[in-house]
Amino acid sequence: MSLANIKDSEVDIVIGVLHSDLTSFMNEWRPIFSRFHLIIVKDPDLKEELRIPEGFNIDVYSKSHIDRVVGSSSSIVFSGYSCRYFGFLVSRKKYIVSIDDDCIPAKDSKGFLIDAVAQHLANLATPATPFFFNTLYDPYREGADFVRGYPFSLRSGVTCALSCGLWLNLADLDAPTQALKPAQRNSRYVDAVMTIPSRAMMPISGINIAFDREAVGPALLPALKLAGEGNLRWETMEDIWSGMCVKVVCDHLGLGVKSGLPYVWRKDRGSAIESLKKEWEGVKLTEEIVPFFQQVRLPQTAATTEDCILEMATTVKQQLGPSDPVFTRAAEAMVEWVKLWKAVGSGSSPL
Amino acid sequence: MSLANIKDSEVDIVIGVLHSDLTSFMNEWRPIFSRFHLIIVKDPDLKEELRIPEGFNIDVYSKSHIDRVVGSSSSIVFSGYSCRYFGFLVSRKKYIVSIDDDCIPAKDSKGFLIDAVAQHLANLATPATPFFFNTLYDPYREGADFVRGYPFSLRSGVTCALSCGLWLNLADLDAPTQALKPAQRNSRYVDAVMTIPSRAMMPISGINIAFDREAVGPALLPALKLAGEGNLRWETMEDIWSGMCVKVVCDHLGLGVKSGLPYVWRKDRGSAIESLKKEWEGVKLTEEIVPFFQQVRLPQTAATTEDCILEMATTVKQQLGPSDPVFTRAAEAMVEWVKLWKAVGSGSSPL
């Protein structure tokens, strides 16, 4: 894997923190994280002081920072898992790696610790191939190449803007599935990275991802907030929505999205059955969201990620808004987010 | 893996034979093949008698059978690797597994023999999910499921019509790539099966595939014959062309295509550099073929695979024909193939 293109100084690791004691989490990640600058964003609903071990290069952001930047009148909510997006906003780096605080480094099939950050950066540093599927998986990996019949004109690929990693132990199932299979754990290590083809939609999770902030940062946004949203991953949808936004943007701008390695080890947390008792609107909303994002097309005039998000917000409001006010709020949050991104990203922010 | 749906008696294993001594090949496959009916088609250019060990349920077809069925005036050529298609034509089974005679069973990462036939049938017996990408790979495998955010309305999937396996040792590279990396061997066992998304094109190889003959049989056809075609896989294009035809048909008819497991072990054969010395038109043609198949759309009136192939033949002739006579010949072969399929498949053949 050639990482020649990406320097450590070009990377922020963003961790949205929903639990105050980070001692064990940080110590597990120490061999991997210690070379990088970390942005920790504390869930504004979390009252306790954070406990963070020494020896890291960290900036910590909490409710007071958030209030100072976005004010209290904003339609953007940074509660729960959405706090991570504040980290994306205030980062000044080209690349962001975002990992949830209930994940620790996984081991590969030979028992070696997986450096998830190095793998994400390798995925981003090498091209993606969204216009034709390579059955031999990522052709840029050592020992791999393009399969016979792959057009030579497409072999230089396109910039990879998003790398989506996976999960050992607790796979990212939804609450009904996890409730039906309470003992199911993911132990299959699939040693592959692949480009998701252009125009194919997928559910992107926010648990273990990395992206080119300069290229698609504004598309990773906290827009869809469920009314009964909880603080377990399967009680949220904000990352699924954001993932469809960023995939549509990538397809429109000719950028690539990869899925597969790296794995992280997700620890058990919460009860799926308890989660099901809440009014979980996610399943119902998904049925409307997916066809929408599958058919949405952006105009040629949308030349930047910001343009794309504003165009999509208009269409969301028009097409999805009438069926549920949650979509109108999402559209408003998208517009607000682009404003914020421009204000904070241009350096005019008070931070 | 549930194979409840597919009985051994519903399966033909088709082997196109380019080399006369099948002793070692058949003995290697004996534990896997011996339960099934085999169709062996001898390359009509191969003069020597076949050597086949005892203990199999086999029908062997040779030049005389081919001549009797297609006559000598046909635009269909069954030479070289194309001889396998004769086996697809005369089969009366619902499913076909097709494996090249330079492949032997592979071993998985734990050293166990891989039953490629069982895996192909598992791929075909379980649904495919072409309308939304599941990042957890084949959701129907034991221990796997749909990822959070996958719409429930799409979880029943569609019929899987084609299963494309992969290759350990010698990956299916083209001659230029193999010539550049003469020592490269594929040793990465990726333990995954996935559905190729609808509208995404891929190069399907004929080396290790299985398909639902009743659903898409007529789309697996010997149409594109290179002028300087040799008898090494990288000197041919007939399977790449056929693969794009069948993918377009599957997308149009709402059927699925899977790629990944099973692996077979491909033995070394031939010299890539010698192959490059031939006039190898494949690279150039691919650049025209791929954009064509990416944009071709079939009319709603095309309701069967036969209809689809005839529609495509017309478009091939119109759009690709003017640039190279090889495409006009391919279009003619497609029309001829559908005629043959209807004649032979309807039982009116003299076989």
Chain B residues whose beta carbon lies within 8 Å of the beta carbon of residue A153: 287
Q: Which of residues 253-272 of B touch A (CB under 8 A)?
A: 259
Chain B residues whose beta carbon lies within 8 Å of the beta carbon of residue A208: none
- End-to-end C-alpha distance for chain A, whole angstroms: 36
Note whether B201 contacts A: Cβ–Cβ < 8 A: yes
What is the Cα gyration radius of chain A? 19
Average pLDDT on A236-248 reads 95
The answer for residues whose C-beta is within 8 angstroms of residue A226's C-beta and 6 or more apart is A235, A236, A237, A280, A281, A282, A285, A326
Total beta-carbon pairs less than 8 A apart between chain A and chain B: 176
A279 falls in which pLDDT band (50, 70, 90)?
A: low
Q: How far is A192 from chain B (nearest CA, A)?
A: 6
Average pLDDT on A7-29 reads 96
Q: What is the DSSP letter of A307?
A: H
Distance of CA A198 to the CA centre of its chain: 18
Test A259 with B133 for CB contact under 8 angstroms.
yes
Test B172 with A147 for CB contact under 8 angstroms.
yes
- End-to-end C-alpha distance for chain B, whole angstroms: 36
A350 falls in which pLDDT band (50, 70, 90)?
A: very low
Q: Which of residues 277-296 of A touch B (CB under 8 A)?
A: 282-283, 286-287, 290, 294
pLDDT of B191 above 60: yes
pLDDT of B273 above 80: no
B2 falls in which pLDDT band (50, 70, 90)?
A: very low
**pLDDT tens string A69-78:** 988 767 888 9
**pLDDT tens string A161-211:** 999 999 999 999 988 888 888 888 999 999 999 999 999 999 999 999 999
B256/B156 Cα distance (integer angstroms):
12
Q: B157: closest CA among B125, B187, B180?
A: B125
Query: Taking a C-beta distance cutoff of 8 angstroms, is the pair B211, B159 a contact?
Result: no
The percentage of residues in chain A with a pLDDT greater than 90, rounded to a whole number, is 80
Q: Which of residues 167-196 of B touch A (CB under 8 A)?
A: 171-174, 177, 181, 184, 186-192, 194, 196
Q: Which of residues 149-168 of A touch B (CB under 8 A)?
A: 149-154, 164, 166
B326 falls in which pLDDT band (50, 70, 90)?
A: very high
pLDDT of B328 above 70: yes
Residue listed under structure tokens 């610790």: A113
Q: How far is A343 from chain B (nearest CA, A)?
A: 32
Q: What is the enclosing helix (H) or strand (E) of A284?
A: helix A282-295
**pLDDT tens string A132-142:** 999 999 999 99
Question: Which pair of tokens denotes residue A32?
Answer: 């991997």
**pLDDT tens string B12-26:** 999 999 999 999 999
DSSP A313-328: HHHIIIIIGGG-HHHH
CA torsion, points B76, B78, B79, B85, in degrees to nearest 10? 130
Q: B134: closest CA among A196, A178, A265, A116?
A: A196
Q: A124: closest CA among A209, A182, A229?
A: A209
Q: B126: closest CA among B136, B118, B115?
A: B118
Note whether A82 contacts B: Cβ–Cβ < 8 A: no
Test A174 with B143 for CB contact under 8 angstroms.
no
| Whole-number pLDDT of residue B279 | 57
User: Which of B135, B148, B188 has the CB atom closest to A191's CB atom?
Assistant: B188
pLDDT of B108 above 70: yes
| Whole-number pLDDT of residue B269 | 73
A2 falls in which pLDDT band (50, 70, 90)?
A: very low
B243/A149 Cα distance (integer angstroms):
10
A346 falls in which pLDDT band (50, 70, 90)?
A: low
Test A148 with B203 for CB contact under 8 angstroms.
yes
Chain B residues whose beta carbon lies within 8 Å of the beta carbon of residue A282: 149
A314 falls in which pLDDT band (50, 70, 90)?
A: very high
| Whole-number pLDDT of residue A126 | 96
Query: Taking a C-beta distance cutoff of 8 angstroms, is the pair A216, A305 a contact?
Result: yes
DSSP A192-235: -EEEPPTT------SSEEEEEHHHHGGGS------TT--SSGGG
| Whole-number pLDDT of residue A4 | 58
Chain B residues whose beta carbon lies within 8 Å of the beta carbon of residue A233: 148
Q: How far is A54 from chain B (nearest CA, A)?
A: 35
The answer for residues whose C-beta is within 8 angstroms of residue A124's C-beta and 6 or more apart is A6, A95, A160, A161, A163, A210, A211, A212
Average pLDDT on B36-54 reads 96
User: Which of B149, B184, B197 has the CB atom closest to A143's CB atom?
Assistant: B184
Phi-psi group of B7: left, alpha or beta (phi > 0 → left; psi -120 to 50 → alpha; rest → beta): beta
User: Which of A131, A153, A287 has the CB atom closest to B287's CB atom?
Assistant: A153
pLDDT of A349 above 50: no
Average predicted confidence (pLDDT) for chain B: 92
The percentage of residues in chain B with a pLDDT greater than 90, rounded to a whole number, is 80
**pLDDT tens string B128-179:** 999 999 999 999 999 999 999 999 999 999 999 999 999 999 999 988 888 8
Question: Which pair of tokens denotes residue A3?
Answer: 């990482």
User: Which of B134, B145, B164 has the CB atom closest to A135's CB atom?
Assistant: B164
Q: What values do phi and psi take at A143, rounded to 5?
A: 85, -5
**pLDDT tens string A103-155:** 999 998 788 999 999 999 999 999 999 999 999 999 999 999 999 999 999 99
Mutate to test the interface with B, among A147, A156, A185, A269 (most CBs of B within 10 A): A147
User: Which of A136, A186, A203 has the CB atom closest to B143's CB atom?
Assistant: A186
The percentage of residues in chain A with a pLDDT greater than 70, rounded to a whole number, is 95
Test B181 with A145 for CB contact under 8 angstroms.
yes
Give the residue with greater pLDDT, B4 vs B315.
B315
**pLDDT tens string A331-345:** 999 999 999 999 997
